[in-house]
A and B are shown apart, each in its own frame.
Chain A
Amino acid sequence: SQQGEEDPQALSIQEGENATMNCSYKTSINNLQWYRQNSGRGLVHLILIRSNEREKHSGRLRVTLDTSKKSSSLLITASRAADTASYFCATDRHTDKLIFGTGTRLQVFP
């Protein structure tokens, strides 16, 4: 399977703490994206990082990409209860298809 893997599968933290999720993939990529999904809902695009970029920031989000290790991380700083959701990475291989990772379920306790 070309699907990426994410770890941890589940993460529980307190409000104010930072949350770090990791994504590993198997093949060379063009872009890597992170999405959030609230329970039973659609996906919300968070951030896109291109294969020639190493780090990207958006508000409380920080994404890194290491193409040599075929991995990416998503850091959410100063987490809030509203950040509770599942987070997925998605990669594309110079095609119009997105391959999603297995996801990390984040629970932020107030």
Chain B
Amino acid sequence: GAVVSQHPSRVICKSGTSVKIECRSLDFQATTMFWYRQFPKQSLMLMATSNEGSKATYEQGVEKDKFLINHASLTLSTLTVTSAHPEDSSFYICSASLGSQLETQYFGPGTRLLVL
């Protein structure tokens, strides 16, 4: 099946720094990528939908200036957590879709962010 990778798998940073997380579709071109956030023992919450070459669509309550999303190519989307604070510590998961059919959405392994 299709493979989606994320890098880094985990990151620890100091409060106030910015962190970039990459999401790559390794063997297919993803027209749409999604970014989710998951707190411990909780469900996935959609943060934003990213389409190649256009601005990301953010969910209500998600600060677009805080969580910068760039989808520069059909195989790469990046999420940058700017001026990270301890409350941004979470598990961030991306997924990639081949098209409009949701059954073709493939999830990355996730990135655990810890902000000290």
- Interface residue? B54 (CB, 8 A): no
The total of Cβ contacts below 8 Å across the A-B interface reads 55
With an 8 Å Cβ cutoff, the count of chain B residues facing the other chain is 26
B49-74 vs A, CB cutoff 8 Å, 1 = contact: the mask equals 10000000000000000000000000
Whole-angstrom distance between the Cβ of A94 and the nearest chain B Cβ? 10
Determine whether the beta carbon of A101 is less than 8 Å from that of B108.
no
Determine whether the beta carbon of A99 is less than 8 Å from that of B46.
yes
Determine whether the beta carbon of A42 is less than 8 Å from that of B100.
no
Determine whether the beta carbon of A105 is less than 8 Å from that of B41.
yes
Q: Which residues of A contact B7 (CB under 8 A)?
A: none
Size category, A interface: 20 to 34
List B residues at the A interface (Cβ < 8 Å).
4, 6, 32, 34, 36, 41-46, 49, 91, 93, 95, 97, 100, 102-103, 105-110, 112
List 5 additional contacts besides A45-B105, A98-B105; criterion CB under 8 Å.
A3-B43, A40-B112, A43-B93, A97-B34, A100-B44
Provide a sorted-by-A list of 7 A–B residue pairs whose CB atoms are within 8 angstroms. A35-B107, A42-B107, A43-B93, A45-B103, A45-B105, A100-B36, A100-B43
